[in-house]
Amino acid sequence: MKRKFLVAIAAASLYMGTASAMRPVTIVDQGSFFAGGTMTETPGRMDFQKPLNQHGQTMHGDHAYVFYQRPANAKQYPLVFLHGAGQSAKTWETTPDGRDGFQNIFLERGFSTYLVDQPRRGKAGQSTQPAALTADTYDQFWFSNFRVGNWDDASHSPGYFDGVQFSKTKEALNQYLRQMTPNTGPYDAGVISDAMAAIFEKAGEGVLVTHSQGGGIGWLTAIKSGKVKGIVSYEPGSGFIFPEGETPPPVKTTHPMGDLAANSVPMADFLKLTKIPIVIYYGDFIADSYTKEWNKDGWRARLEMARLWAETVNRHGGDATVVHLPDVGVTGNTHFPFSDLNNIEVADLMEAWLQEKGLAE
Amino acid sequence: MKRKFLVAIAAASLYMGTASAMRPVTIVDQGSFFAGGTMTETPGRMDFQKPLNQHGQTMHGDHAYVFYQRPANAKQYPLVFLHGAGQSAKTWETTPDGRDGFQNIFLERGFSTYLVDQPRRGKAGQSTQPAALTADTYDQFWFSNFRVGNWDDASHSPGYFDGVQFSKTKEALNQYLRQMTPNTGPYDAGVISDAMAAIFEKAGEGVLVTHSQGGGIGWLTAIKSGKVKGIVSYEPGSGFIFPEGETPPPVKTTHPMGDLAANSVPMADFLKLTKIPIVIYYGDFIADSYTKEWNKDGWRARLEMARLWAETVNRHGGDATVVHLPDVGVTGNTHFPFSDLNNIEVADLMEAWLQEKGLAE
């Protein structure tokens, strides 16, 4: 059997022209579904002979879309992956330079995976609210904000950070910038966390893995669903929630999107976050102190807020850990540690944490 | 080994709570990528300290998104699946009532699969052109247009056709209506077929499987790429292309979107479509003659046009076949034969055709 697998690996590598293909995985089930969502209706009575008149017709929207895979002999808890702002489930798939993302890495390690497009994004694009899509040009903003480098016209190049864990080929950058996909309706944390809770109703108990803006959604999901057994959050960017009366003031930053404010929730809700283990990871190129280098400063503010938040969770009896990757010897990471060049090392850290918390059995 | 697989099937069925789960498949490679697309730029010079000013910044858009899977011992030609109007690659995945769609069925039969979100749709949402999304309520129009039934207020029910191959559970209808996802930019057949040709450059020679509006894109793709070795088209809905000078007049119909016009291309382009085998399938509930039942009539017009088109291809030395499924004893099919209740039978027909044409080896 082993010999056959090796032949298969060689064939797959030739096929896609990549240096590294996934290890063969036997899939016993895979598929997709929509979860959550609502329905709107135009008042009036519909007439079959006038089908382009909207009176009496409905529209189903605001659901999440999920693609799941279950490997043979899967571990008990599936991993449910939620992307961040401007992204889709593509975040977790093949990396921009063509290597395995967390989807394949964790399938290979025996975990079921659920990849989500949140409501009003990607394959879950049908929104009950209208939206104006403006085709704006913000590649260089996102590139710098995601800490791949400081892109500036003066250098006529992307200005990659020294030691950054990101391929410098043109095609990797091309693939990376095409990962962005717009909101098809207003961003609404309540709508998204409702749909996420509905996913856990279908998937059963599992571990939620979030990225960036998805981090805030993750806390809300765990409040809404008792089926979230743990949370791994990569670089949560906003939506930190504190108990009413314990909410810190905004953290000042030079980031163009402004100072980072925290939100309040009733204590009873907050305490639900003390019942599950939570780990938060941040990458490299984050400032130590206030600086005009707005991208490094914006993430400094987020890392500071994450530490305040974890302290608050733990003070109330919880189990939240913040890991700044350079502090544990893992360097060069951007805002996307799970797809960076060292993502196997990043996955090893996550899997070790899952094992420590009894979530990888 | 067989015994182990049976155990795995049972586990998978329990897991999703469905009656039928996929047969275990060993995947030797899977992943995703973007293909084609362009880039726009706002004139001027960017300033790193003013990242929300668009001057000098770019945007990458108009690409297709593809998720591919390669099973062990895969057949030579992958199947590249393109959805229709208002849909995404979800079209080919789990059916609305939770059974295997063509993605799993053909993986199980040893084909590599490539599932596409076309430019300005789904995970390929970033468009270089703006769009206004209006959150319209058209569920009942689409339901009737897709020939699941004649939905009318008077009956207070969906009005399913007698014998329709569609589950009558509420959840199947809910999942079905949520499959729609909007254009995030103007529909542009040139942009889409460019991206489809770019997919074949990455995937290599393969068979293109299209649905509905994707049918017209399929013909254009085969003109642009010599790597399209055959086309299977389910219910092509528009974009039939004839050689200049041989274009028929529009086919009259009571469909609210109007009479069905054909397009013209230079003879040299048209002749490329005579070099590959093509099969076109239409389902049930299509009128025999002009009728005010606009949904059955719109598809009558399309079936008539498809027959005219195939005759033209064959008159010029091609190999195009139109199969009206009821004519071969396959009844009850909607506009989505590949996800209808009898989709195994529909897949059998497709696979037999691929075998006959030497495309399933």
- pLDDT tens-digit series, residues B69-81: 999 999 999 999 9
> Closest by alpha carbon to B94, among A91, A35, A34, A192?
A34
Judge: B152–A123 Cβ closer than 8 Å, yes or no: no
Distance CA B83, CA B209 (A): 9
Judge: B58–A137 Cβ closer than 8 Å, yes or no: yes
Chain A residue with Cα closest to B24: A28
Joined tokens for residue A232: 């791994």
Joined tokens for residue B314: 């064959």
Residue B26: its chain A contacts at CB < 8 A? 8, 24-27
Distance CA A205, CA A213 (A): 23
Residue A88: its chain B contacts at CB < 8 A? 122-123, 125
Interface test with A, best of B129, B181, B299 (most A CBs within 10 A): B181
Task: Give the amino acid at B277.
Answer: P
Cβ proximity of B221 and B208 under 8 Å? yes
Identify the residue whose tokens are 């769609």: B101
Distance CA A20, CA A11 (A): 11
Cβ proximity of A239 and A189 under 8 Å? yes
Joined tokens for residue A140: 């260089």
Residue A177: its chain B contacts at CB < 8 A? 58, 60
Burial class (CB in 10 A: 0-12, 13-18, 19+), B260: buried
* CB contact burial B329-340 (16+ within 10 A = b; e otherwise): ebebbbbbbbbb
pLDDT averaged over 10-residue windows placed end to end, chain A, 361 residues: 36 41 92 98 94 96 98 98 98 98 98 98 98 97 98 82 97 98 98 98 98 98 98 98 98 98 98 98 98 98 98 98 98 98 98 98 96
Angle between helices A214-224 and A189-203 (to 10 degrees): 60
Distance CA A178, CA B125 (A): 9
Burial class (CB in 10 A: 0-12, 13-18, 19+), B1: exposed
Cβ proximity of A169 and A96 under 8 Å? no
User: For residue range B248-260, what is the model confidence (pLDDT) as tens digits?
Assistant: 999 999 999 999 9
Judge: A121–B125 Cβ closer than 8 Å, yes or no: yes
Task: Give the amino acid at B56.
Answer: G
Torsion A200-A206-A207-A211 (CA) sign: negative
Distance CA A44, CA B165 (A): 30
pLDDT at B44: 93
pLDDT at B152: 86
Residue B96 to chain A, least CA–CA distance (Å): 8
Cβ proximity of B144 and B151 under 8 Å? yes
Torsion A138-A140-A146-A152 (CA) sign: negative
DSSP B55: T
Residue B179: its chain A contacts at CB < 8 A? 34
Q: How far is CA B340 from the centre of its chain?
A: 14
The ipTM of this complex is 0.94
Among the partner residues A41, A126, A178, nearest to B63 by beta-carbon distance: A178
Joined tokens for residue B71: 């099973």
pLDDT at A157: 79
Residue A264 to chain B, least CA–CA distance (Å): 29
Residue A336 to chain B, least CA–CA distance (Å): 17
**Cα angle vertex B13, ends B2, B79, to 5°?**
75
Distance CA B187, CA B135 (A): 17
Looking at B204-263, list the stretches that DSSP marks H as alpha helix, in order from N- to C-terminal side. Answer: 214-224
Distances (CA, A) of B146 to B176, B197, B255: 11, 28, 12
pLDDT at B13: 37
pLDDT at A156: 65
Among the partner residues B46, B54, B135, nearest to A128 by beta-carbon distance: B135
Distance CA B131, CA A259 (A): 31
Average pLDDT over chain B reads: 94
> Closest by alpha carbon to B297, among B356, B338, B257?
B257
Write the CB contacts of B350 (distance below 8 Å, at least 6 apart in sequence): B209, B232, B279, B281
pTM of the full structure: 0.95
Distances (CA, A) of B342 to A49, A296, A357, B337, B346: 29, 56, 46, 8, 7
Among the partner residues B54, B123, B135, nearest to A129 by beta-carbon distance: B135
Do the bridges between strand B113-117 and strand B64-71 make them parallel or antiparallel, or are there none, so unpaired? antiparallel
> Closest by alpha carbon to A272, among A186, A164, A193?
A193
Looking at chain A, list the stretches that DSSP marks H as alpha helix, in order from N- to C-terminal side. Answer: 2-16, 102-108, 139-145, 170-178, 189-203, 214-224, 267-272, 294-315, 343-356
Residue B308 to chain A, least CA–CA distance (Å): 28
Distance CA B249, CA B257 (A): 16
Chain B residue with Cα closest to A70: B12
- First-to-last alpha carbon distance for chain A, in angstroms, is 25
Interface test with A, best of B30, B63, B91, B183 (most A CBs within 10 A): B30
Q: Tens-of-pLDDT digits for all 361 residues of chain B?
A: 333 333 333 333 333 444 456 899 999 999 999 999 999 999 999 999 999 999 999 999 999 999 999 999 999 999 999 999 999 999 999 999 999 999 999 999 999 999 999 999 999 999 999 999 999 999 999 999 999 999 987 766 899 999 999 999 999 999 999 999 999 999 999 999 999 999 999 999 999 999 999 999 999 999 999 999 999 999 999 999 999 999 999 999 999 999 999 999 999 999 999 999 999 999 999 999 999 999 999 999 999 999 999 999 999 999 999 999 999 999 999 999 999 999 999 999 999 999 999 999 9
pLDDT at A152: 86
Residue A130: its chain B contacts at CB < 8 A? 132-135
